[in-house]
Structure 1
């Protein structure tokens, strides 16, 4: 992760570490323009990956998309391979959350998420597949072995249920 380039980002980093509500703190700082674009790029991955129960449920997809768009596409680790022009992505989710932002390029990982959702939501979950153009991709994170692809859900035109 890059070092924060401004004092507010440095201060926020200290506040965000290990906090599930870090997304809310980051969003508030960004809306108030207390952090720079570089500060946003530095803090956004941690805020996204630590948001609980899921990032979109914390501050909403619209807010996330706005922040990711301002930050520019994020690839972590920094040696993440170049992304192709079209990607096949997978998601394990309950039916009404199939258009979410968090996807993976690993079908088996998506199946694990499907099982987890069934356990936590106590309702049937499914495995979904979509094709997206590179312009839909806001971030690609492989920092937790999830091969996560964060997409702007407005680009999800066709979502197929696989099971």
Structure 2
């Protein structure tokens, strides 16, 4: 289960889901477990930005736990995980790589339902813009310009830049193009990364 700390009422909501799944399988029996059930059911925190971020991560935690505990039918788990990942641009801010990878492994390769991609069959070069301490994150792209934009957005935080690696097919967890970023979700924990230096 993700280590993000839930508020008591959020934990109660999660416990109810797990109880129902273990008892009647009322959640697991659904082919389409709408993520809106979580968004509507988890009590809102206050209106400030940090509380909103906390609420989104609480929703993610509930969804990832339901997926990892196999409370959902395959199609429902796929949609819940994709929705949780795409809530905003910071899915890894409060939920660690290991938790995300575990949930994606339960679902198997996934992608946008409205823009389906085939699972890759050969190694692919991908790029990521990030500070050094976050170079091994999950979100990569095949578009170097998108990676450069992300590198520019984080340039003031710490040293880093555009990273590149070649990912084998079995480490590609998902592909999304929700924000026209050609996003590849990969398990980069053991891959060799290089800091890209453009030719002059």
Q: TM-score range by the shorter chain?
A: 0.7 to 0.9
Query: Offset of 1:45 from its aligned partner?
Result: 1.1
Please give the alpha-carbon distance, in whole angstroms, between the structure 1 residues aligned to 2:170 and 2:177: 19
Structure 1 position 9 matched with structure 2 position 33: yes
Change (3 A) 1:108 1:68: same
The question of whether the paired residues in 2 share the 8 Å contact of 1:115 and 1:125 is answered with: no
Change (3 A) 1:147 1:5: farther
Please give the alpha-carbon distance, in whole angstroms, between the structure 1 residues aligned to 2:115 and 2:29: 17
Structure 1 position 159 matched with structure 2 position 193: yes
TM-score with structure 1 setting the length: 0.82
Q: Which has the larger radius of gyration?
A: 2
Please give the alpha-carbon distance, in whole angstroms, between the structure 2 residues aligned to 1:142 and 1:118: 24
Gaps (5+ residues) in structure 1?
none
TM-score with structure 2 setting the length: 0.68
Aligned to 2:129: 92
Gaps (5+ residues) in structure 2?
1-27, 41-51
Matched length: 155
* Alignment deviations for residues 7-49 of structure 1 (CA, whole Å, 9 cap, x no partner): 8823x43333796223112023234443222211011111101
The runs of 4+ residues in structure 1 deviating greater than 4 Å are none
Structure 1 position 105 matched with structure 2 position 142: yes
Change (3 A) 1:72 1:93: same
Change (3 A) 1:81 1:38: closer
Of residues 176, 188, 191 in structure 2, which corresponds to 1:141?
Answer: 176
Report which stretch shifted further, 18-27 or 84-93.
18-27
Change (3 A) 1:140 1:48: same
Higher relative contact order (CA 8 A, sep 6+): 1
Change (3 A) 1:20 1:73: same
Please give the alpha-carbon distance, in whole angstroms, between the structure 1 residues aligned to 2:31 and 2:174: 25
Bigger helix fraction: 1
The question of whether the paired residues in 2 share the 8 Å contact of 1:140 and 1:149 is answered with: yes
Q: What is the RMSD computed on CA atoms of the aligned residues?
A: 2.6
